[in-house]
Structure 1
Amino acid sequence: MDDLAVAIGLVLVIEGLLWALAPRMGRRLLEAASETPESSLRLAGTLAVAAGVLIVWIARG
């Protein structure tokens, strides 16, 4: 359970850095995402999940 809390905290830190350091870029990214086809977003999300699982698997070996 501690690992889950750490992982959620790290996600919040990484997400928060974008909005704290470059809010204008964050808005541009959101606009670009809203114009991107759903199938492309779904593929990118699936690839991100797979990469995350692979990273955790390697790190926790």
Structure 2
Amino acid sequence: MSLELLLTAFAIALIIEGIVPALFPNKWRAYVAKIAQEPTANIRNIGLSIMVIGAVLLWMLN
């Protein structure tokens, strides 16, 4: 994997992450406030689940 490919993937991730707050700032703010009320273990589990899904997708693509 080249550095260029890695930076391209990172740039796409940033674009995707920025779409929701740019289009729906009030709903995004309410969502972030709701997430802040969640227990740490739930947030950790969500993050780990997202990482596993990403790793599986990456593995399937290669």
TM-score by length of 2: 0.90
Kindly state the Cα deviation for residue 3 of structure 1 after the two structures are TM-superposed.
1.6
Amino acid of the structure 2 residue aligned with 1:31? A
Percentage identity across paired residues of the two chains: 25
- 2:11 is aligned to 9
Unmatched tracts of structure 2, length 5 or more: none
CA RMSD in angstroms, aligned pairs only:
0.8
1:31-46 aligned at under 5 Å gives the runs 31-46=33-48
Offset, 1:53: 0.4
